[in-house]
C-alpha cells in the first residue's frame, strides 16, 4: 500500500493485513531486504521497535527504499521519541502503554497511532479521549482471547491489535474476534533466518502469516 494513511485514525493500520510484523533490527543493513521480504509475502505494515540503537536508521532506510511498505515505530515511550520517529519516516506509532503526555504527542504527530492497553479501565479512558483503536499488550499474559471476547460486549466501539505471546497457532482465534483487526507478532522473523540473510524463508513465513486472514475468518 503506497497511499498515505489518514492522520485522524489508526484503523487503516488495523486493516492493512491480518498480521503486523514486530521487527527488532540490530544491523541497519538488514532493514531494507527484510522489509522487502515482508511486503512480498503480503505484510505491508511493519512495526520497527525502538529496542536497538539501529531502530531509527532502520525506519529511515525502509521509508526511503521500500515505498510500498507502511513502516511504523513500536515501543514508543516518550514525546521525544514520537518526534524522532516521525522525522525518520514512521507512518504509524505503537506504544506498549500510554500516559496523557504520550497520548497528546502521538495525537499531534499527524500519523496514526495505537496506544497500548491491558485493562478495561485503560480502554474506557482512551474511549473517553476519542481513541478507538488500540494495542492490547501483553496479549497472552493479560488474558488473551477470553479477555478480548469479554470486552466486545460492553465496549464494542474499541478495536485492537493484540501483541505479545501470539504465534501462528493462536493468531486465528484472535482474528476471529469481532473487536480484533489484526495481531502483532514476530514468528515470521526467526533469528537464524535474519542472521543468515535468508529473505526467501522470511517471505514464505510472511505469506503464510498473511494467509491467516482466511483462517481467522472475520479479520477486516
- Write the pLDDT tens digit of every residue in 86-102: 999 999 999 999 999 99
Confidence band of 150 (pLDDT split at 50, 70, 90): very high
Cα Rg for the chain, rounded, in angstroms? 16
> Within a 10 A sphere around the Cβ of 141, how many other Cβ atoms?
10
This model's pTM is above 0.85: yes
Each residue's pLDDT tens digit, 46-81 = 999 999 999 999 999 999 999 999 999 999 999 999
Q: Helix 100-107 to helix 79-88 angle, to the nearest 10 degrees?
A: 20
Give burial (CB, 10 Å; 0-12/13-18/19+) of 110: exposed
**Grid cell locating 180:** 480484533
Which residues are annotated as catalytic?
Answer: 47, 135
For residue 215, pLDDT over 90 is answered with: no
Amino acid at each position: 500500500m503506497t497511499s498515505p494513511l489518514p492522520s485522524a485514525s489508526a484503523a487503516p493500520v488495523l486493516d492493512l493485513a491480518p498480521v503486523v510484523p514486530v521487527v527488532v533490527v540490530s544491523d541497519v543493513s538488514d532493514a531494507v531486504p527484510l522489509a522487502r521480504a515482508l511486503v512480498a509475502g503480503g505484510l505491508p505494515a511493519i512495526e520497527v521497535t525502538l529496542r536497538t540503537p539501529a531502530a531509527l536508521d532502520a525506519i529511515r532506510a525502509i521509508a526511503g527504499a521500500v515505498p510500498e511498505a507502511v513502516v511504523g515505530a513500536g515501543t514508543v515511550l516518550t514525546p521525544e521519541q514520537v518526534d524522532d520517529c516521525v522525522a525518520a519516516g514512521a507512518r504509524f506509532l505503537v506504544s506498549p502503554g500510554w500516559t496523557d503526555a504520550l497520548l497528546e504527542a502521538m495525537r499531534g504527530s499527524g500519523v496514526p497511532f495505537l496506544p497500548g492497553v491491558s485493562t478495561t479501565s485503560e480502554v474506557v479512558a482512551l474511549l473517553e479521549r476519542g481513541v478507538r483503536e488500540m494495542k492490547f499488550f501483553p496479549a497472552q499474559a493479560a488474558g488473551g482471547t477470553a479477555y478480548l471476547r469479554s470486552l466486545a460486549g460492553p465496549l464494542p466501539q474499541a478495536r485492537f491489535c493484540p501483541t505479545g505471546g501470539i504465534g501462528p497457532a493462536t493468531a486465528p482465534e484472535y482474528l476471529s474476534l469481532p473487536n480484533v483487526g489484526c495481531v502483532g507478532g514476530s514468528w515470521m522473523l526467526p533469528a537464524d533466518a535474519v542472521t543468515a540473510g535468508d529473505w526467501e524463508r522470511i517471505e514464505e513465513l510472511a505469506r503464510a502469516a498473511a494467509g491467516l486472514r482466511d483462517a481467522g475468518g472475520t479479520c477486516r
